[in-house]
Structure 1
Amino acid sequence: MKTLHDTPIKVHDIFKALPDQQRHIRVVLTNGVAGVGKTFSVQKFSLDWAEDLENQDVSVLVLLSFRELNLIKDEQYSLLTLLHVFHPTLQKVTAEQLAVCKLLFIFDGLDESRLSLDFNNSEVVSDVTQKSSVDVLLTNLIKGNLLPSALVWITSRPAAASQIPPTCVDRVTEVRGFTDAQKDEYFRRRFRDEELSSRIISHIKTSRSLHIMCHIPVFCWITATVLEHMLTTEQRGELPKTLTDMI
């Protein structure tokens, strides 16, 4: 894909057009390496919506993981039934209500998908009560044949993102992890003991390997857990300077 814009964007603004954009943002594809925070971003977005803090124009938010969808990939569902099965709180929602309310579907973890997403030859489904396979429902939802007013957010690791044709995506975002300043902030917030956090930050900065890896949040968590244990117990020895040393 050609990069048209490379602009920082807050997670709760991903469906909002930039000042110089006129087009409607309906489908967003977010990619990022393992452990960088894609699922956390989804959870933060969902929590802020549920607590009436952000994106209150959305009436219903439906979060589905591809890991869960894999379990029913050989079964037949209508979109309405699928919602009822995965979100029992929506049992009373009717097809007529789906047509008029603003929905947001979040599909997390495309890289874990075992579905056959065929955007060229799949049957057209435009009725939320029409039964079909899960992969056909998804392709029609993404293409806009099914609930064209619904917003769709897909997360994926980079290698799997190409499963979604560029013509079906209105915006591509990337979770890039922590900046150097955010690494320091993470450790200072993680530990109330200022001396402990300072020692850990200092050690990480002396190790090029650790410092580079800690741009991925999950590595910050691993590093914090291991170094805290070593610095607060009787365990002796040189502090690890690589992920291999920690293991």
Structure 2
Amino acid sequence: MLHVSNPGYREKYTAHIQDKYGAIKDRNSLLGENVILNSRYTKLIIVKERRARKERQHEIMTSGQRHAEIMSEQKRSITIGDLFAADEKGKTPRIAVLLGAAGIGKTLTAKKIMFDWEAGKLYNKKFDYVFYINCREVNFDTEQGSVANLILRNCPDQHALIQAMLGNPERLLFIIDGFDELRLSLDQPEESLCSDPWEKKPMEIVLSSLVQKKVLEKCSLLITTRPAALEELRQCLHNERYAEILGFSETERREYFDKYFGDKGKARKALNFVKENEMLFTMCFVPIVCWIVCTVIKQQMDEGEELAQTSTTVTGVYLLYLYDLLKDPRRKSK
């Protein structure tokens, strides 16, 4: 039997990962426009716990100064490499749930994990293969499938390797991204679940069997979701670990501006302008807001307009962003 970590097969798969996840598309990009993932990705604050809903809401409504204090108080922040690390009792989880609000960076983090694993920087001693499952795409699966089919989507033309992969489930990681967007119900009766990774079933049965560990029991799962869908997800899990993305600290906001503008002078000018409005700067802890703010300011700079003409409210920035999309019919937001 082929070993799952056979170098020849691994090279083909990692090349596929690099092509698929090494670049990202901005939401206002033209067809064929891409950004190198590592040129934009900025570290996010992640904590190994679940915070109360009221605490999350309070954080967003606080002043910039209080928000900075809250972020600095997160003594137990972790990295994405810690999600499957052994705890203080030496126990390593097989399921990790990564929580986060809309636009906080869950999908980008999932793709960063894929890319860093391919580059040999993350989880290489733990997992031979990492597979990405997009729940939004799964919603359109109307035909029956199997766990083996899910693997083949990630590594096409690798039929000969599938049997070896399935024979070493403890070396496999499945990233299930966007559980909150899943329209299929995973609340399936136990008798309908499958234990054979080759058995073809409706997709809700296949995913439910994978999440509930009825198939490939020893594989690992990383599931991203918004907090609103957490209770539904918890009903399917057992012995899971939770972590939550809080967003950018002030230091990371500065780094993001540097990466986005690619020119320290322009980045400093833009950042200083944003910091004049405490609430606007505070809301930039959310990556998608930070991106929109940078996009609008760059547009103003490129057109030679004074930044004073740029709205300093979050709503105003959104309107300017929308205006820019509408005035260029070639651009289509994703």
TM over 0.5: yes
Match of 2:273 among 188, 203, 206: 203
Which of residues 116, 139, 163 in structure 2 aligns to 1:70? 139
Residues 1:129 and 2:198 aligned together: yes
d(CA) in 2 for partners of 1:51, 1:136: 33
Equivalence for 2:168? 100
Pick closer, same or farther for the CA change 1:82–1:241 going to 2, 3 Å.
same
Alpha-carbon distance, 1:151 to partner: 0.5
Query: Structure 1, residues 160-195: CA drift from partner, whole Å, max 9, x if none?
Result: 222212652521111111011211222133334433
The unaligned stretches of length 5 or more in structure 1 are none
CA contact (8 A) 2:135 2:181 kept: yes
Aligned length: 244
Question: 2:219 maps to what in 1?
Answer: 150
Distance in 2 of aligned mates of 1:188 and 1:78: 44
Written as runs of structure 1 = structure 2, the 5 A alignment for 1:94-243 is: 94-95=162-163, 97-101=165-169, 102-118=171-187, 121=190, 123-165=192-234, 167-236=237-306, 238-243=309-314
Q: Aligned to 1:36, what secondary structure does the other structure show?
A: coil
User: In 2 relative to 1, CA 100–188 (structure 1 residues): closer, same or farther, beyond 3 Å?
Assistant: closer
Runs of 5+ consecutive residues of structure 2 not aligned to the other structure: 1-48, 52-73, 320-334
TM-score (norm 2): 0.67
Q: What letter corresponds to residue 155 of structure 1 in structure 2?
A: T
CA distance in 2, matches of 1:89, 1:53: 26
Identity of aligned residues (%): 28
* 1:31 alignment partner in structure 2: 99
Judged with a 3 Å threshold, the aligned counterparts in structure 2 of structure 1 residues 200 and 122 are, in CA distance, closer, same or farther, namely farther
Aligned residue type for 2:282: I
User: Which AA in structure 2 matches 1:186?
Assistant: Y
Counterpart Cα distance in 1 of 2:220 and 2:105 = 21
* Equivalent residues of 1:83, 1:90 under 8 A apart: no
TM-score of the superposition, structure 1-length normalised? Answer: 0.88
Letter of the 1:154 counterpart: I
How big is each residue's C-alpha offset from its partner over 1:130-184, in whole Å with a ceiling of 9 and x where there is no partner? 2222112222212222111100111111112222126525211111110112112
Q: Do 2:98 and 2:225's aligned partners in 1 also have CA atoms closer than 8 Å?
A: yes
In structure 1, how many angstroms separate the alpha carbons of the residues matched to 2:269 and 2:150? Answer: 51
How much has 1:105 moved relative to structure 2? 0.6
The letter for the 1-side match of 2:127 is: V
Distance 1:66 1:169, change over 3 A: farther
